[in-house]
Amino acid sequence: MERISDVHVREIRDFLLKSLKDVERLRKAVGKYFSWKPLPAPRKASVYAVDGSRMTKRLSGAIVYAVSASAIGERLYYWNDIGMVFPYKSVDDRVALHMDILEKRMGTMALELGADLVLMDGTISSAIITPPTYVTSTTRELYSRHGDKLLNAALEFLDFLDEQWVEWREKLKEEGVLNGFSLPSRGWNGEEIFSMLMKRGAKSIKGSFWWVNDKEDLIVLFEYLEYLHALDRLLGGRVAAIAKTFYKSDIVKTVKAREGEKLKGTPMIIDTPVVASLSGESGYLPFSYVKSPKGGFPRLVAELMVRGRFQNLRKTLIMDGGQIVGARIRPAYVRFAEGGLIYLLEVPEKQDFERTLAEILSVAEDEYVVPLEYAHHSVVIKKKEFDAYVNAVLSALVGEDERFIDFLRYGREPLE
């Protein structure tokens, strides 16, 4: 890249100066409707924080990846897995989903093992209101072809997850660490999920072979069902989420709608610099998300809810004519220390907001929440370590059988 030029500095300075004028104009309007509130007194509680990490490496015939999640509070819990997939349908999104599944399972199991409150890194609302596009289209195609057969298979798969959940939780309680077998939809020990379900006597799979030509798409669907299964259980407990990076403009949108012509021509900028300009003190600023259509769940998921599945998720959603328009989540901007950074806090409406915030403050120090910081540092997968581990595994496999090498070559080898 070329050396930094004065032109680049001037362009960014001009952008920031103009933005400051916009912020000042919006600040006066926002101050009419919103204000910072003082933080409540800390309230002692058993608070756990959860975070996850992932890493991938693209090989000549497959993609190898690692996912990990940790829950840190009075005890430390870890779940690690490494796997290999063919580059079929949105692999990066599916690896991210795998990590999300582990995070939400760890959060729920921490609650089931005695935590009063679990803090998730990021947001809860995005997990609820934005089903992955690749899953939505795949599910609709499968349901249009297989209907009730698919519905019954999904119900039997979820029953299997319920039983497996108990085994995972008990092992986590005893050992504190889980390794491997974290995604039953991908099978285990060389056995496909369809075979595993057959052995359990699943009538939907055993009765006919309607599923044979759609195996890969069914695995993608089952992965998503694992995610909804974990998310639904998490929403049944006391949970909150803190996001470090976010681009929300709900306060600005709300104020512009109320002020009308007075703010005409003001650009739609994000909330953070505007609310930061209202006060430099510690505190929190509650607001509401602007409701707008976000799409809907595939019919299969709706049918599963009718059959009694995902009830915590259903109660959290705000629906309008079959469309998701929001979630019953209370958001607030929070500053833990004077002059500190602003974070986005989300708390489900069913919980007492101030009590939840008070419990978070019992484990906060200066600008941030200590368990979330520890969770992040404990779980991060470093690229150098991951590459070394993968190379050792691949070398052992090729040494065992040279035919594996066509799957395991690395395209960037000549450049390194």
Rounded Cα gap, residues 146 and 13, in angstroms = 58
Rounded Cα gap, residues 60 and 65, in angstroms = 14
Contact predicate 332/38, CB 8 Å: no
40 DSSP assignment: P
Give the tens place of pLDDT for each residue, 395-409.
Answer: 887 787 777 776 666
Helix (H, G, I), strand (E, B) or coil at 333: strand
pLDDT of residue 415: 33
pLDDT of residue 286: 97
Q: With cut-offs at 50, 70 and 90, classify the pLDDT of residue 46.
A: very high
Rounded Cα gap, residues 162 and 309, in angstroms = 11
pLDDT of residue 293: 76
pLDDT of residue 281: 95
- Which positions ≥6 away from 366 have C-beta within 8 Å? 336, 337, 340
pLDDT of residue 412: 46
Enter the pTM of the model: 0.91
pLDDT of residue 172: 97
Looking at per-residue confidence, does 302 or 323 come out higher? 302
Quick one: average pLDDT of 156-182? 95
Looking at per-residue confidence, does 358 or 368 come out higher? 358
Rounded Cα gap, residues 60 and 78, in angstroms = 31
Amino acid 264 reads K
pLDDT of residue 86: 77
Give the tens place of pLDDT for each residue, 229-269.
Answer: 999 999 999 999 999 989 999 999 999 999 999 988 888 89
Amino acid 214 reads D
- Write out the E strands in 190-321: 239-243, 283-286, 317-320
Examine the pLDDT at 414 and tell me if it is beyond 50.
no
Examine the pLDDT at 113 and tell me if it is beyond 90.
yes
Mean pLDDT across the chain: 90
Identify the top-confidence range among 49-63, 99-113, 318-332. 99-113
pLDDT of residue 409: 63
